[in-house]
Amino acid sequence: MITLYELQAKDPRLAFSPYAWRTKMCLKHKGLDFDRKTIFFRDKDTIAPANSKTIPVINDNGTWVADSFDIAKYLDDTYSDKPTLMGGKPGRAAAAFYNNWSTMALAVPMFKILVKDIFDLLDEDDQTYFRSTREPRLGMTLEETVDHRSENLKRLEGNLIPLEMTLSGQNFLGGDAPNYLDYAVFGFFQWARLTSNIELYKADSAIAAYVDRMLDLYDGYARNAVGLNSL
């Protein structure tokens, strides 16, 4: 059995980490059963055996693997009889680009837009940890980020253009069916929709239709997740 460790908000049902969402979608794609254990930001001891300070980590019958991209590669290597996530070496090389592109082009501006909403969902002890680690990174208080939302939304809008163009011509980044490329990117949209009501893209965009298709996968697995509006 595989156990996935991921972060929780104050309410344990709200598991919001974009990187953990990548892993959950990968596990669903592979058709693998898994348990989930949610931890707080401050509970790093639980994942120490994985030699990681970040989630997601998985424990697959005693084997610890950390980092969403490494977990996806591990799943493809270990469960090669199940549907592939990346489709061999050239696919894996392309996936590395999507992995890094989505983090830099999507997660960086999204983080600045969402950070105060995420903070509001955490319990008090995690709020203390989150503020003390994030404010130095942001170079401002969490409250000040709210005044910078519109400039970050503009930056995100520009970064989304290649995605909008691509998804106007195909259903998934993987083509006719989703694969790792989609999970790498979708994790960030899921993070946003579970933690905030800020509109990051137009309701009539190809991206909106795409997010809807991703939410339908695996019997609506991501759609049924608890978010701020269903607490």
Ligand X SMILES: N[C@@H](CCC(=O)N[C@@H](CS)C(=O)NCC(=O)O)C(=O)O
Secondary structure (3-state) at 4:
strand
Candidates 28, 177, 187, 25; CA nearest to 102 is: 187
Is position 190 an interface residue for ligand X (rule: CB under 6 A)? no
Q: Which of 26, 30, 50, 56 binds ligand X (CB under 6 A)?
A: 56
Closer by beta carbon to ligand X, 59 or else 68: 68
| Residue 7 Cβ vs ligand X, minimum distance, rounded to whole Å | 6
Piece of 53-61, 147-155, 162-170, 171-179 that binds ligand X (CB under 6 A):
53-61
**How far apart are CB 27 and ligand X at their closest, in Å?**
14
Cβ proximity to ligand X: between 133 and 141 the closer is 133
Q: Is residue 77 exposed (0-12), middle (13-18) or buried (19+ Cβ within 10 Å)? A: exposed
| Residue of 4, 55, 65, 217 interacting with ligand X (CB under 6 A) | 55
Cα 134 to Cα 155: distance, rounded to the nearest angstrom: 20
**Which of 23, 152 has the CB closer to ligand X?**
23
Say whether residue 205 binds ligand X (CB under 6 A).
no
In the complex, least distance from residue 19 CB atom to ligand X, rounded to whole angstroms: 4
Residues of span 91-150 touching ligand X by CB under 6 A: 133
Please give the radius of gyration of the chain, using alpha carbons only, rounded to the nearest integer: 17
217 contacts ligand X (rule: CB under 6 A): no
C-alpha distances out from residue 124 to 12, 129, 220, Å: 14, 9, 32
Are the C-beta atoms of residues 210 and 167 closer than 8 Å to each other? yes
Told to check if 67 binds ligand X by CB under 6 A, we report yes
Site for ligand X in 4-33 (CB under 6 A): 7, 17-19
Shortest distance in whole angstroms from residue 133 CB to ligand X:
6
The DSSP code for 199 is -
Give 67 or 182: the residue with its C-beta nearer to ligand X.
67
> Judged by CB under 6 A, does residue 54 bind ligand X?
yes
Q: Cα separations (Å) of 217 from 2, 59, 128, 131, 184? A: 21, 24, 36, 35, 15
Residue 4 bridge partners (DSSP): 36, 58
Is 189 an interacting residue with respect to ligand X (CB under 6 A)?
no
* Spatial CA neighbour of 86 closest among 70, 101, 102: 70
Q: Which amino acid is at 155?
A: R
Residues that bind ligand X (CB under 6 A): 7, 17-19, 41, 54-56, 67-69, 133
